Each structure stands twice: as C-alpha cells, then as structure tokens.
Amino acid sequence: MSRPDRVLSLLGIAMKAGKIVSGETSTESAVKSLQAHLVVIAEDASGNTRKHFTDMCRYRDIPIITYSTREALGRAIGKDYRSNLAVTDEGLADAVIQATRPV
C-alpha cells in the first residue's frame, strides 16, 4: 500500500471509529475546544480557509497538515467534498502524521 493510500485509509478508519469531525464549523469547534489532535486541510482548499485554520491551530499548538484534494478527503471519510477535517483521537492523529512522513 502506498503512502497516500495509507493516510486516506487511516482517515477512513478514524471516521468509522467516530474520531473525525469535518466541515468548517465542526472542525473549528473541535480546535477551539482543544478536542482536535490534528487538522487536515485539502491542498485545493481556498487560501482563506488554509490561513484561518493555520492561524487557529498555531495559536493552540495543534498539528496541521495539508494533504490530498477535497474530493479524496471526502471520499476517504464517506462524505462529499471536504476541505478540512479534524482527528479527535490522539493515537489516530499520530498514526496519520507518521504516515505523511517520508520513509
């Protein structure tokens, strides 16, 4: 299994476990309440969205990664297009971060 497939698979597992929130409002709420352990932003998200979540996550010291497309992120979690999502489980968040690192 390739690296990109591994990340999207982990996000799908996290969604099935109920450890993903997606959409701008839900993701923002998870970050502000410190429930988010990782925020994932789609590479094709708008510049305003990227800046908004990057600033919010930096302020609260929450890891943020830019990964894949809105279509692929949505498909991975069984939803329509998603430009952002938050992983609310620390172990799953760590696994996603590790999967994005080069070998």
pLDDT digits (tens, 9 = 90+) for 75-91: 999 999 999 999 999 99
CB neighbourhood size of 88 (10 A)? 19
pLDDT digits (tens, 9 = 90+) for 27-56: 999 999 999 999 999 999 999 999 999 999
Domains of the chain: 3-100 (3.30.1330.30)
Buried-state track 75-86, b at ≥16 Cβ within 10 A, e below 16 = bbbeeeebbbbb
Pairing of strands 38-41, 20-22: unpaired
